[in-house]
Amino acid sequence: MNNHSKKIGRWQGAGLMATTLLGTGVFILPQMTLKIAGQGAIIAWFLLTLAIIPVTLIFAKLAAKFPHAAGPAYFVEQAFGPIAGRTIGLIFLFVVPLGAPAAILMTFQFVDSLIQLTGATLLLTELSVLLLLFTLNYRGIKISAKLQFLLTLAIVAVVVLLFGIGNLQSHSEVTTRFPNMDVNLIMAAAGLAFWSFLGVEAMTHLASDFKNPKKDLIPAMMIGTILVGLIYLACTQILLFIPTNTELAMVGVFNQLLGEHLGLSGAKIIGILGIAGGLATVNVYTASVARLVWSFSNDGVLPSYFSTVNQYNVPVRALMAILSIMAFVLIVTFLTGQNIEDLIAWCNGVFVVIYFASMLAAFRLLSTKNRPLILLSCVFCLMLIWGLGWQMMYAVLLIFITAPLLFWQHSHQTNKQLTA
């Protein structure tokens, strides 16, 4: 069978990118930013969308020029050597098994709008999601890419429909008031909203899954990122148009605008899309980190056991190992009652380090004409590091643990080669 036919194209890649970023946040984060900054949340989303564009573009250019399953770890290795690159790769490995279960737990907020699950039933249902992820990934990313492209279209269709009807029914005083310009509140809302764009680097791990990375990867990532920014802006504006007291605001808006006329349940429509979006995010990260484990196994960083692929060129052993760790985290979180916000905060710090290291690598790897975009991206990352403060400690701890171990491993391997 032609392996090229199993790869994905520009629009499927854009769908993967969009659903990775939308995740569960598309129907939750706008409501949260409005509580922080009021109408200033619109400004926060607009500025954040502008700020993430150069970061995404640099990631896309790096992946198009250096398509590799290790993604940012490979970029950093090419620029600063194997120890630096492998350190970035390992801290990514350590963060996804925490971040993915956190995303699963967030996804189950939408499940609650459809059916109440508690106790052991809830845990077993969360664990069953991992079986679904294994099934989706077993035959490669192309199948899930098609499904996630359709999901992206469905989410866009619902948001556009609500936005259009909301504009027609909104009161003029809502749209004519000047937005709240409290800078501190706007920055606080932008800091929260940044979660919506965690994941722009995930596509770089899948560059080799594109039919033509140099031609399709940059458009796919840019289309997906800009589309996501517009969707979040639209959702935020919708909630300004149509105030609601519903716990999940988008459900209340849907019921007001469409439910009464079409007899549709907002809880069901928004809930199903929210669940699917959350699972799509975890799915892409699962595929990405499995590829990274496979790559590190081939490079001798991890045991050769993980270097095996199946007939669909999927690293099944790496996939099963990652899903097993996720299951362990879900079980521990359930038994200990660990706060989801803690998991998210730790992950956030690690991703900022990965972004910043990748941007620094781009200074060496890309042409000088990209320097202005790279500089803007670095400033953006430094602002996030400053804003996170003590939440960066998990990332710092991982670096201090992994870097010395990798240095020892590299020295040991070098000595063996010299004495052989």
pLDDT of residue 172: 43
Predicted confidence (pLDDT) at residue 407 exceeds the cutoff of 80: yes
pLDDT of residue 176: 43
In a domain, 357, yes or no: yes
Q: How many domains does the chain have?
A: 1
User: ∠ CA(417), CA(418), CA(420), 5° rounding?
Assistant: 65
Q: Which of 5-14, 63-72, 209-218 has the least mean pLDDT? A: 5-14
User: ∠ CA(204), CA(209), CA(213), 5° rounding?
Assistant: 65
Nearest to 131 by CA among 334, 333, 326: 326
In a domain, 416, yes or no: no
What is the DSSP code string of 334-386?
HHHT--HHHHHHHHHHHHHHHHHHHHHHHHHHS-GGGHHHHHHHHHHHHHHHH
Residue located via tokens 């803690």: 342
Q: Which of 136-145, 294-303, 334-343, 396-405 has the least mean pLDDT? A: 136-145
Predicted confidence (pLDDT) at residue 262 exceeds the cutoff of 70: no
Region 41-68 average pLDDT:
88
- Phi, psi dihedrals of residue 210, rounded to the nearest 5°: -85, 145
In a domain, 248, yes or no: yes
In a domain, 112, yes or no: yes
In a domain, 233, yes or no: yes
Distance (Å, whole) CA 242 – CA 56: 32
CB atoms within 10 A of CB 419: 6
Residue 8's beta-bridge partner residues? 210
Distance (Å, whole) CA 291 – CA 296: 9
CB atoms within 10 A of CB 334: 17
In a domain, 243, yes or no: yes
Containing domain of residue 55, as a range?
Answer: 3-410
Distance (Å, whole) CA 204 – CA 222: 13
| CATH code, 316 | 1.20.1740.10
In a domain, 417, yes or no: no
Cα distances (angstroms) measured from residue 351 to each of 171, 195, 327, 341: 41, 10, 22, 15
CB atoms within 10 A of CB 150: 12
Cα distances (angstroms) measured from residue 14 to each of 135, 229, 365, 379, 400: 22, 13, 25, 26, 36
Distance (Å, whole) CA 96 – CA 286: 8
Question: What crossing angle do the helices spanning 393-419 and 82-114 adopt, rounded to 10°?
Answer: 140
pLDDT of residue 23: 67
Confidence label for 2 from pLDDT (cuts 50, 70 and 90): very low
In a domain, 237, yes or no: yes
Nearby residues of 50 by Cβ (< 8 Å), 6 or more positions away: none
